[in-house]
């Protein structure tokens, strides 16, 4: 089993929007990726930070470039980044 972290940051106020974005979009898309073996999410609602550790079957799958992921995951990730940046400002 190999891991790859995904981090998200936001302000504390609109936290539920970011939680929904993290849980429903990128993680749902990751489930369809080759080698996906699970994910563990550790939120810090008070600090506005979230860390997700994605588990992969092989090291190559964990280390692959973003361009090697499906279009569905890249779109979901882009939405997560946009939501995270919007909530910081």
* Predicted pLDDT at 62: 93
Q: Which of 64, 40, 62, 61 is nearest to 52 (CA)?
A: 40
Residue-level pLDDT at 61? 95
pLDDT of residue 34: 94
Whole-angstrom distance, CA of residue 37 vs CA of residue 57: 6
pLDDT score of 27: 80
pTM more than 0.85: no
Question: pLDDT tens digits for 36-72?
Answer: 999 888 877 777 777 888 999 999 999 999 899 999 9
Best CA proximity match to 74, nearest among 29, 10, 23: 29
| pLDDT, position 13 | 55
In the chain the domains, ranked by start, together with CATH numbers, are: 2-88 (3.30.70.100)
């Amino acid at each position: 089993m190999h891991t790859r972290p995904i981090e998200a940051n936001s302000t504390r106020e609109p936290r539920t929007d970011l939680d929904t974005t993290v849980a429903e979009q990128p993680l749902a898309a990751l489930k369809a990726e080759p080698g996906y073996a699970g994910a563990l999410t550790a939120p810090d609602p008070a600090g506005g930070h979230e860390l997700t550790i994605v588990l992969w079957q092989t090291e190559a799958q964990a280390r692959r470039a973003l361009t090697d992921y499906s279009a569905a995951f890249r779109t979901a990730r882009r939405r997560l980044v946009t939501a995270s940046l919007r909530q910081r400002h």
